[in-house]
Protein backbone atom coordinates (compact mmCIF):
# COMPACT_ATOMS: atom_id res chain seq x y z
CA UNK A 1 0.00 0.00 0.00
CA UNK A 2 1.42 3.32 -0.90
CA UNK A 3 0.03 6.76 -1.48
CA UNK A 4 -0.27 7.95 -5.09
CA UNK A 5 1.95 10.66 -6.57
CA UNK A 6 -1.06 12.92 -6.98
CA UNK A 7 -2.11 12.56 -3.36
CA UNK A 8 1.46 13.10 -2.17
CA UNK A 9 1.86 16.28 -4.24
CA UNK A 10 -1.48 17.60 -3.04
CA UNK A 11 -0.60 16.83 0.56
CA UNK A 12 2.79 18.52 0.28
CA UNK A 13 1.19 21.63 -1.18
CA UNK A 14 -1.35 21.73 1.66
CA UNK A 15 1.51 21.35 4.15
CA UNK A 16 3.21 24.37 2.58
CA UNK A 17 0.02 26.32 3.23
CA UNK A 18 -1.00 26.50 -0.43
CA UNK A 19 -4.60 27.77 -0.31
CA UNK A 20 -5.35 26.73 -3.89
CA UNK A 21 -4.30 23.14 -3.13
CA UNK A 22 -6.47 23.10 -0.03
CA UNK A 23 -9.44 24.40 -2.05
CA UNK A 24 -8.79 21.67 -4.61
CA UNK A 25 -8.69 19.00 -1.93
CA UNK A 26 -11.98 20.16 -0.40
CA UNK A 27 -13.58 20.43 -3.81
CA UNK A 28 -12.46 16.92 -4.66
CA UNK A 29 -13.78 15.19 -1.53
CA UNK A 30 -16.59 17.26 -0.02
CA UNK A 31 -19.29 15.74 -2.20
CA UNK A 32 -18.65 12.09 -1.45
CA UNK A 33 -18.06 12.73 2.26
CA UNK A 34 -21.32 14.65 2.53
CA UNK A 35 -23.25 11.93 0.69
CA UNK A 36 -21.81 9.37 3.10
CA UNK A 37 -22.60 11.47 6.18
CA UNK A 38 -26.14 12.08 4.98
CA UNK A 39 -26.84 8.37 4.89
CA UNK A 40 -25.65 7.99 8.48
CA UNK A 41 -27.01 10.99 10.39
CA UNK A 42 -30.65 12.00 10.36
CA UNK A 43 -30.24 15.79 10.09
CA UNK A 44 -28.74 17.27 6.95
CA UNK A 45 -27.24 20.19 8.91
CA UNK A 46 -25.49 17.71 11.22
CA UNK A 47 -24.03 15.94 8.22
CA UNK A 48 -22.59 19.23 6.95
CA UNK A 49 -21.16 20.01 10.39
CA UNK A 50 -19.50 16.63 10.59
CA UNK A 51 -17.96 16.98 7.14
CA UNK A 52 -16.65 20.43 8.07
CA UNK A 53 -15.19 19.00 11.28
CA UNK A 54 -13.59 16.24 9.24
CA UNK A 55 -11.73 18.75 7.06
CA UNK A 56 -10.80 20.75 10.16
CA UNK A 57 -9.34 17.64 11.84
CA UNK A 58 -7.49 16.80 8.66
CA UNK A 59 -5.89 20.21 8.22
CA UNK A 60 -5.01 20.50 11.92
CA UNK A 61 -3.14 17.20 11.75
CA UNK A 62 -1.75 17.66 8.25
CA UNK A 63 1.85 18.06 9.39
CA UNK A 64 1.92 14.87 11.41
CA UNK A 65 -0.50 12.52 9.72
CA UNK A 66 0.84 9.47 7.98
CA UNK A 67 -1.26 8.47 5.03
CA UNK A 68 -0.53 4.99 3.80
CA UNK A 69 -3.35 4.38 1.37
CA UNK A 70 -5.01 7.50 0.02
CA UNK A 71 -6.31 10.89 1.10
CA UNK A 72 -9.82 9.60 0.41
CA UNK A 73 -9.50 6.57 2.68
CA UNK A 74 -7.99 8.75 5.38
CA UNK A 75 -10.78 11.33 5.17
CA UNK A 76 -13.43 8.62 5.27
CA UNK A 77 -11.69 7.21 8.36
CA UNK A 78 -11.89 10.57 10.16
CA UNK A 79 -15.49 11.03 9.05
CA UNK A 80 -16.49 7.60 10.28
CA UNK A 81 -15.01 8.25 13.72
CA UNK A 82 -16.57 11.71 13.82
CA UNK A 83 -20.00 10.20 13.15
CA UNK A 84 -19.52 7.53 15.80
CA UNK A 85 -18.43 10.16 18.33
CA UNK A 86 -21.19 12.56 17.42
CA UNK A 87 -24.14 10.26 17.25
CA UNK A 88 -23.83 8.16 20.35
CA UNK A 89 -26.51 5.67 19.59
CA UNK A 90 -26.31 1.98 19.01
CA UNK A 91 -27.01 2.12 15.30
CA UNK A 92 -24.28 4.67 14.83
CA UNK A 93 -21.78 2.04 15.94
CA UNK A 94 -22.52 0.20 12.73
CA UNK A 95 -21.38 3.15 10.67
CA UNK A 96 -18.37 1.31 9.35
CA UNK A 97 -20.26 -1.82 8.52
CA UNK A 98 -21.05 -2.33 4.96
CA UNK A 99 -24.68 -3.31 5.05
CA UNK A 100 -26.40 -3.26 8.41
CA UNK A 101 -28.98 -5.79 7.36
CA UNK A 102 -26.33 -8.51 7.19
CA UNK A 103 -25.58 -8.21 10.87
CA UNK A 104 -29.02 -8.84 12.27
CA UNK A 105 -28.55 -12.55 12.82
CA UNK A 106 -25.47 -13.12 14.96
CA UNK A 107 -25.93 -16.88 15.10
CA UNK A 108 -25.33 -17.05 11.37
CA UNK A 109 -21.85 -15.64 11.66
CA UNK A 110 -19.30 -18.29 10.94
CA UNK A 111 -16.71 -18.82 13.64
CA UNK A 112 -14.06 -20.69 11.74
CA UNK A 113 -12.61 -17.77 9.81
CA UNK A 114 -8.84 -17.80 10.20
CA UNK A 115 -9.29 -20.51 12.81
CA UNK A 116 -5.74 -21.74 12.44
CA UNK A 117 -4.31 -18.27 13.04
CA UNK A 118 -6.89 -16.95 15.34
CA UNK A 119 -6.85 -16.18 18.96
CA UNK A 120 -10.00 -14.15 18.92
CA UNK A 121 -9.72 -10.84 20.65
CA UNK A 122 -13.17 -9.77 21.75
CA UNK A 123 -11.91 -6.32 22.65
CA UNK A 124 -11.25 -5.51 19.02
CA UNK A 125 -14.06 -3.19 18.16
CA UNK A 126 -15.52 -2.63 14.74
CA UNK A 127 -14.74 1.02 14.85
CA UNK A 128 -11.24 1.87 15.87
CA UNK A 129 -9.79 5.33 15.81
CA UNK A 130 -7.72 6.07 12.76
CA UNK A 131 -4.51 6.32 14.79
CA UNK A 132 -4.94 2.71 15.85
CA UNK A 133 -5.18 1.54 12.28
CA UNK A 134 -1.43 1.67 11.94
CA UNK A 135 -0.73 -1.31 14.13
CA UNK A 136 1.65 -3.91 12.81
CA UNK A 137 -0.92 -6.68 12.90
CA UNK A 138 -3.31 -4.72 10.79
CA UNK A 139 -0.57 -3.79 8.40
CA UNK A 140 0.42 -7.41 7.86
CA UNK A 141 -3.16 -8.50 7.47
CA UNK A 142 -3.95 -5.59 5.15
CA UNK A 143 -1.03 -6.52 2.92
CA UNK A 144 -2.13 -10.15 2.82
CA UNK A 145 -5.70 -9.19 1.97
CA UNK A 146 -4.61 -6.67 -0.60
CA UNK A 147 -2.50 -9.33 -2.30
CA UNK A 148 -5.44 -11.72 -2.38
CA UNK A 149 -7.82 -9.11 -3.80
CA UNK A 150 -5.32 -7.97 -6.42
CA UNK A 151 -4.70 -11.56 -7.52
CA UNK A 152 -8.43 -12.20 -7.88
CA UNK A 153 -8.97 -8.96 -9.79
CA UNK A 154 -6.04 -9.50 -12.13
CA UNK A 155 -7.08 -13.08 -12.83
CA UNK A 156 -10.62 -11.88 -13.54
CA UNK A 157 -11.94 -14.11 -10.75
CA UNK A 158 -14.66 -11.66 -9.89
CA UNK A 159 -17.05 -14.34 -8.71
CA UNK A 160 -14.49 -15.44 -6.11
CA UNK A 161 -14.00 -11.81 -5.12
CA UNK A 162 -17.74 -11.52 -4.54
CA UNK A 163 -17.61 -14.59 -2.30
CA UNK A 164 -14.67 -13.11 -0.36
CA UNK A 165 -16.48 -9.81 0.11
CA UNK A 166 -19.61 -11.52 1.39
CA UNK A 167 -17.94 -13.96 3.78
CA UNK A 168 -15.04 -11.82 5.06
CA UNK A 169 -16.15 -8.23 4.60
CA UNK A 170 -19.81 -8.82 5.52
CA UNK A 171 -19.20 -11.89 7.70
CA UNK A 172 -22.06 -13.59 5.95
CA UNK A 173 -22.63 -17.30 6.47
CA UNK A 174 -21.69 -19.50 3.52
CA UNK A 175 -25.29 -20.52 2.98
CA UNK A 176 -26.46 -16.92 2.70
CA UNK A 177 -23.57 -16.00 0.38
CA UNK A 178 -24.45 -18.98 -1.83
CA UNK A 179 -28.07 -17.85 -1.99
CA UNK A 180 -27.15 -14.26 -2.92
CA UNK A 181 -24.72 -15.37 -5.61
CA UNK A 182 -26.89 -18.26 -6.77
CA UNK A 183 -23.97 -20.59 -6.23
CA UNK A 184 -23.59 -24.04 -4.79
CA UNK A 185 -22.88 -23.82 -1.06
CA UNK A 186 -20.04 -26.33 -1.36
CA UNK A 187 -18.39 -24.16 -4.00
CA UNK A 188 -18.65 -21.11 -1.73
CA UNK A 189 -16.88 -23.13 0.97
CA UNK A 190 -14.12 -24.12 -1.46
CA UNK A 191 -13.58 -20.50 -2.53
CA UNK A 192 -13.54 -19.35 1.08
CA UNK A 193 -10.93 -21.91 2.08
CA UNK A 194 -8.80 -21.09 -0.94
CA UNK A 195 -8.87 -17.42 0.09
CA UNK A 196 -8.00 -18.24 3.70
CA UNK A 197 -5.11 -20.40 2.56
CA UNK A 198 -3.75 -17.54 0.49
CA UNK A 199 -4.13 -15.07 3.39
CA UNK A 200 -2.43 -17.48 5.80
CA UNK A 201 0.46 -18.06 3.43
CA UNK A 202 0.95 -14.34 2.88
CA UNK A 203 0.89 -13.67 6.62
CA UNK A 204 3.32 -16.51 7.30
CA UNK A 205 5.68 -15.20 4.61
CA UNK A 206 5.74 -11.74 6.15
CA UNK A 207 9.18 -10.77 7.46
CA UNK A 208 7.74 -8.83 10.35
CA UNK A 209 5.96 -11.79 11.82
CA UNK A 210 9.06 -13.78 12.80
CA UNK A 211 9.89 -11.73 15.87
CA UNK A 212 6.38 -11.20 17.06
CA UNK A 213 3.52 -13.34 18.09
CA UNK A 214 0.73 -12.09 15.92
CA UNK A 215 -2.82 -13.22 16.21
CA UNK A 216 -5.84 -12.25 14.21
CA UNK A 217 -9.51 -12.41 14.87
CA UNK A 218 -12.14 -12.54 12.18
CA UNK A 219 -13.36 -9.16 13.38
CA UNK A 220 -9.93 -7.72 12.70
CA UNK A 221 -10.00 -9.15 9.21
CA UNK A 222 -13.35 -7.51 8.53
CA UNK A 223 -12.31 -4.30 10.23
CA UNK A 224 -9.11 -4.00 8.18
CA UNK A 225 -11.02 -4.75 5.00
CA UNK A 226 -13.56 -2.02 5.75
CA UNK A 227 -11.10 0.54 7.12
CA UNK A 228 -8.76 0.25 4.15
CA UNK A 229 -11.63 -0.27 1.71
CA UNK A 230 -9.48 -2.94 0.15
CA UNK A 231 -11.87 -4.19 -2.50
CA UNK A 232 -13.66 -0.93 -3.26
CA UNK A 233 -13.53 -0.03 -6.95
CA UNK A 234 -11.49 3.05 -7.81
CA UNK A 235 -13.31 6.31 -8.38
CA UNK A 236 -12.45 6.08 -12.08
CA UNK A 237 -14.03 2.61 -12.21
CA UNK A 238 -17.19 3.98 -10.62
CA UNK A 239 -17.12 6.72 -13.24
CA UNK A 240 -16.82 4.17 -16.02
CA UNK A 241 -19.69 2.24 -14.45
CA UNK A 242 -21.80 5.38 -14.54
CA UNK A 243 -20.99 5.86 -18.22
CA UNK A 244 -21.60 2.14 -18.82
CA UNK A 245 -18.19 1.79 -20.43
CA UNK A 246 -17.00 -1.18 -18.35
CA UNK A 247 -16.69 -4.72 -19.65
CA UNK A 248 -19.79 -6.82 -18.84
CA UNK A 249 -17.88 -8.75 -16.14
CA UNK A 250 -16.71 -5.59 -14.37
CA UNK A 251 -20.05 -3.89 -14.81
CA UNK A 252 -21.66 -6.85 -13.08
CA UNK A 253 -19.07 -6.78 -10.30
CA UNK A 254 -19.39 -3.04 -9.60
CA UNK A 255 -23.17 -3.40 -9.66
CA UNK A 256 -22.83 -6.18 -7.07
CA UNK A 257 -20.53 -4.04 -4.89
CA UNK A 258 -22.93 -1.09 -4.99
CA UNK A 259 -26.25 -2.89 -4.90
CA UNK A 260 -25.99 -6.37 -3.36
CA UNK A 261 -23.11 -5.62 -1.01
CA UNK A 262 -24.38 -2.07 -0.62
CA UNK A 263 -20.99 -0.53 0.19
CA UNK A 264 -21.84 2.75 1.88
CA UNK A 265 -18.57 4.38 0.86
CA UNK A 266 -18.92 3.57 -2.82
CA UNK A 267 -22.61 4.42 -2.87
CA UNK A 268 -21.71 7.85 -1.50
CA UNK A 269 -18.99 8.29 -4.14
CA UNK A 270 -21.31 7.10 -6.85
CA UNK A 271 -24.07 9.55 -5.88
CA UNK A 272 -21.50 12.33 -5.90
CA UNK A 273 -20.36 11.29 -9.38
CA UNK A 274 -23.93 11.21 -10.63
CA UNK A 275 -24.48 14.71 -9.29
CA UNK A 276 -21.25 15.94 -10.83
CA UNK A 277 -22.33 14.55 -14.16
CA UNK A 278 -25.62 16.43 -13.84
CA UNK A 279 -23.70 19.62 -13.02
CA UNK A 280 -21.42 19.08 -15.98
CA UNK A 281 -24.41 18.50 -18.22
CA UNK A 282 -25.95 21.66 -16.83
CA UNK A 283 -22.80 23.70 -17.49
CA UNK A 284 -22.37 22.13 -20.89
CA UNK A 285 -25.97 22.88 -21.84
CA UNK A 286 -25.68 26.45 -20.60
CA UNK A 287 -22.56 26.88 -22.72
CA UNK A 288 -24.37 25.43 -25.70
CA UNK A 289 -27.24 27.88 -25.30
CA UNK A 290 -24.80 30.75 -24.81
CA UNK A 291 -22.85 29.81 -27.94
CA UNK A 292 -25.95 29.68 -30.06
CA UNK A 293 -27.49 32.85 -28.69
CA UNK A 294 -24.53 35.15 -28.11
CA UNK A 295 -24.61 36.31 -31.75
CA UNK A 296 -28.22 37.34 -31.40
CA UNK A 297 -27.34 39.35 -28.35
CA UNK A 298 -24.63 41.29 -30.24
CA UNK A 299 -26.99 41.94 -33.17
CA UNK A 300 -29.42 43.60 -30.85
CA UNK A 301 -26.80 45.87 -29.37
Q: How far is the CB of 169 from Zn ion (least distance, A)?
A: 9
CA torsion sign for 228, 268, 218, 181 is negative
**Choice between 191 and 263, CB closer to Zn ion:** 263
Strand partners, 188: none
How far is the C-alpha of 280 from the C-alpha of 201, rounded, in Å? 47
CB of 238 to Zn ion, least distance (A): 9
117 vs 263, beta carbon nearer Zn ion = 263
Q: How far is the CB of 225 from Zn ion (least distance, A)?
A: 10
Least CB distance to Zn ion at residue 232 (A): 3
Residues 6+ apart with CB under 8 A from 256: 162
Give the C-alpha separation, 60 to 51, whole Å. 14
In this structure, the chain runs to a length of 301
Closer of 58 and 270 to Zn ion (Cβ): 270
Considering the complex, state which of residue 95 and residue 263 has its C-beta at the smaller distance from Zn ion.
263
**At closest approach, how far in Å is the CB of 5 from Zn ion?**
23
Angle between helices 44-60 and 71-86 in degrees, nearest 10: 130
Q: Which residues bind to Zn ion, rule: CB under 5 A?
A: 232, 263, 265-266
Beta carbon of residue 261, minimum distance to Zn ion (angstroms, whole number): 7
CA distance 143 to 149: 10
CA distance 278 to 21: 25
In degrees and rounded to multiples of 5, residue 118 shows phi and psi of -80, 140
Largest CA distance in the chain: 82
Would you give the distance in Å from CA 68 to the centre of its chain? 14
CB of 242 to Zn ion, least distance (A): 15
Beta-carbon contacts of 35 under 8 Å, excluding residues fewer than 6 positions away, are 267, 268, 269, 271, 272
Amino acid sequence: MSISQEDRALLEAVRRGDAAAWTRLIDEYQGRLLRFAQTRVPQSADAEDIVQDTFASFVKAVHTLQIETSVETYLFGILRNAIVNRVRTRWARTVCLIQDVYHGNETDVSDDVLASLSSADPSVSWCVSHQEQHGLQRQILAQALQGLIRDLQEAGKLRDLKVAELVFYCQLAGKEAARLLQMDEGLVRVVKHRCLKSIREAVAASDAIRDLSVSFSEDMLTEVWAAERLSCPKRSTLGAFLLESLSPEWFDYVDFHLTTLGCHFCRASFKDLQEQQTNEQHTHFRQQILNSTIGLLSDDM
